């Protein structure tokens, strides 16, 4: 048999197929007939996708002169694609990304300030203040909210009832007592079969800084320059919670966000601090849950927020900029936000949506506490490094009992100061 001839025929066929296939999908990036095309990349996979797709479709239908060309991909692919694309000047016009990442790109001048959007129709006074704060860098608005939510306390009603607890804890004293009551049984490797609480400590939104803030501590102060991670309050809070974890085993150590959710979904953890995405998962797993504000600490009752923000590439000017501003205004309009809240479970980014507009009572709870939530380290240009190299590993070291909490916090604080000095 003549393998070579076969191969040649194969190759010819493949070339033809490839040529035919790409003939059909030629790029039509720019305007045709006065239409402005906005390329828009984001990572709204999973449960976020249907709501986002619907809003973009509606926008395209109601704005014949603008076409938003959206590509959804997993977040890690998104970030890996953004770097070479913007580096080669081929990045998208509009992106949506975690608010924490915006400053890093803004500082590299990849994005442009969006303050003009406010004069172009977006009513600043109607947007949740934290949602605006999360997108600010160097005094300017580089991000506008695609979503914004507080992190709240989920609790498993069935497990609470079994333990004879009537209501979710209101303050730390109750919380700690409840945690001890709810941690019990013998699971694999001598660990508890049921945990009082679970909280992801990497690859997720931060939970531990909420605890530090409850005691009056924190990670970096409101000025964005002063490290408070090794303040006496932070050390005190960390010591208290490390004891609860190491001695009373109220929380599994070192879980990722996804693993923490799984524990809550399987009914093996009684509480979790998380955002609204968990509601649909818990409903699917048939967990009877309740939602409450994070219990009040000795110094404050506060929680952190999580937000995805729109940004505009610095090359998008003129008509593209106008079109993008229109898109952002549309997205944050009252009608859009009511729709968004009712399909995705995220609270509206606006303050003028009442509980009566929201079909889901859980969304109303998130909306109620949205004004109380503060963004985590907004405007930090080295956020990625701070989180993955200092803060998360530091907390996990402490919770794994790798040293004295105070000493390890001091060490992490020192590293943060070095990073701050260089940014």
Q: Scanning residues 34 to 53, which ones bind other proteins (CB under 8 A)?
A: 39, 43, 45-49
User: What is the spatial distance between Cα 327 and Cα 347, in angstroms, rounded to a whole number?
Assistant: 19
Q: Rank residues 13 and 177 by Cβ distance to other proteins and give the closer one.
A: 13
Which residue is associated with the tokens 């506008």? 144
Interface residue with other proteins, options 64, 87, 232, 403 (CB under 8 A)? 87
Interface residue with other proteins, options 57, 64, 65, 74 (CB under 8 A)? 74
Do the strands 373-374 and 303-312 form a parallel or antiparallel pair, or are they unpaired? parallel
393 interacts with other proteins by CB under 8 A: yes
Q: Which stretch binds other proteins (CB under 8 A): 16-24, 54-62, 149-157, 233-241?
A: 16-24
Minimum CB–partner distance for residue 38 and other proteins (Å) = 12
User: What is the spatial distance between Cα 328 and Cα 205, in angstroms, rounded to a whole number?
Assistant: 24
Q: Rank residues 122 and 264 by Cβ distance to other proteins and give the closer one.
A: 264
By three-state DSSP, how is residue 19 classified?
helix
User: What is the spatial distance between Cα 421 and Cα 231, in angstroms, rounded to a whole number?
Assistant: 19
User: What is the spatial distance between Cα 126 and Cα 134, in angstroms, rounded to a whole number?
Assistant: 15
Q: Which stretch binds other proteins (CB under 8 A): 152-160, 162-170, 280-288, 360-368?
A: 280-288
Which residue is associated with the tokens 């940014």? 423
By three-state DSSP, how is residue 228 classified?
coil
Interface residue with other proteins, options 212, 251, 263, 353 (CB under 8 A)? 263
287 interacts with other proteins by CB under 8 A: yes
Pair 377, 205: CB distance under 8 Å = no
93 interacts with other proteins by CB under 8 A: no
Contact flags string 351-390 toward other proteins, x per CB under 8 A:
-------------------------------x-xx--xx-
Interface residue with other proteins, options 11, 170, 177, 355 (CB under 8 A)? 11
Furthest CA-CA distance within the chain? 83
List the one residue out of 388, 332, 400, 312 whose CA is nearest residue 55: 332
Interface residue with other proteins, options 350, 392, 413, 416 (CB under 8 A)? 392
Q: Which stretch binds other proteins (CB under 8 A): 145-153, 209-217, 269-277, 322-330?
A: 269-277
Q: Which residues contact 34 (CB under 8 A, 6 or more apart)?
A: 65
25 interacts with other proteins by CB under 8 A: yes
Minimum CB–partner distance for residue 214 and other proteins (Å) = 23
Q: Rank residues 125 and 284 by Cβ distance to other proteins and give the closer one.
A: 284
Q: Which of residues 107-146 bind other proteins (CB under 8 A)?
A: 108-110
Residues in contact with other proteins, counted by CB under 8 A, come to a total of: 94
Interface residue with other proteins, options 207, 216, 252, 313 (CB under 8 A)? 252
Minimum CB–partner distance for residue 315 and other proteins (Å) = 12
Contact flags string 187-226 toward other proteins, x per CB under 8 A:
xxxxx---x------xxx----------------------
Q: Which of residues 151-190 bind other proteins (CB under 8 A)?
A: 187-190
User: What is the spatial distance between Cα 104 and Cα 102, in angstroms, rounded to a whole number?
Assistant: 5
By three-state DSSP, how is residue 377 classified?
coil
List the one residue out of 298, 269, 299 whose CA is nearest residue 281: 269
Give the containing element (helix H, strand E) for 243: helix 232-246
257 interacts with other proteins by CB under 8 A: yes
Give φ, ψ of 212 to 5 degrees: -60, -40
Interface residue with other proteins, options 402, 403, 407, 410 (CB under 8 A)? 402
DSSP symbols for 264-312: HHTT-BSEEEE-THHHHHHHHTT--EEEEPPPB-SS---EEEEEEEEEE
């Amino acid at each position: 048999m003549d393998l070579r001839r076969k191969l040649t025929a194969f190759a010819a066929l493949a070339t033809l197929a490839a040529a035919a296939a790409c003939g059909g999908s030629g790029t039509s990036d720019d305007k045709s007939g006065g239409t402005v095309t906005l390329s828009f990349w984001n990572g709204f996979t999973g449960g976020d996708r249907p709501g986002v797709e619907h809003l973009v479709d509606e926008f395209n239908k109601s704005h014949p002169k603008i076409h938003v060309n959206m590509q959804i991909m997993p977040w890690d692919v998104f970030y890996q694609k953004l770097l070479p694309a913007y580096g080669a000047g081929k990045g998208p016009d509009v992106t949506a990304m975690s608010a924490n990442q915006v400053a890093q790109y803004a500082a590299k001048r990849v994005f442009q300030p969006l303050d003009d959007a406010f004069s172009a129709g977006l009513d600043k006074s109607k947007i949740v203040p934290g949602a605006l704060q999360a997108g600010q860098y160097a005094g300017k608005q580089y991000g506008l909210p695609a979503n914004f939510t507080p992190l709240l306390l989920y609790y498993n009603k069935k497990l609470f009832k079994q333990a004879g607890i009537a209501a979710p804890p209101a303050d730390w004293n109750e919380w700690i007592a409840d945690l001890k009551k709810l941690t019990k049984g013998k699971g694999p490797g001598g660990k508890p079969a049921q945990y009082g609480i679970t909280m992801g400590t990497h690859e997720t939104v931060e939970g531990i800084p909420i605890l530090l803030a409850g005691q009056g501590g924190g990670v970096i102060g409101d000025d964005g320059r002063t490290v408070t991670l090794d303040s006496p309050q932070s050390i005190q809070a960390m010591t208290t919670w490390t004891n609860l974890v190491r001695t009373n085993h109220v929380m599994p150590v070192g879980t990722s966000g996804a693993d923490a959710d799984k524990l809550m979904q399987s009914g093996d953890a009684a509480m979790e601090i998380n955002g609204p995405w968990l509601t649909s998962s818990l409903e699917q797993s048939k967990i009877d849950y309740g939602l409450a504000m994070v219990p009040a600490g000795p110094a404050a009752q506060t929680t952190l927020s999580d937000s995805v923000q729109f940004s505009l590439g610095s090359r998008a000017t003129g008509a593209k900029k106008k079109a993008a501003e229109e898109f952002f205004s549309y997205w944050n309009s009252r009608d859009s936000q009511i729709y968004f809240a009712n399909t995705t479970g995220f609270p509206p980014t606006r303050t003028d949506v009442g509980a009566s507009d929201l079909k889901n009572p859980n969304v109303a709870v998130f909306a109620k506490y949205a004004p109380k939530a503060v963004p985590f380290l907004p405007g930090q240009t080295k956020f990625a490094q701070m989180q993955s190299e200092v803060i998360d590993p530091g907390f996990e070291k402490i919770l794994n009992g790798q040293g004295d909490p105070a000493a390890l916090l001091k060490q992490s604080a020192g590293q943060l100061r070095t990073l701050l000095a260089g940014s």
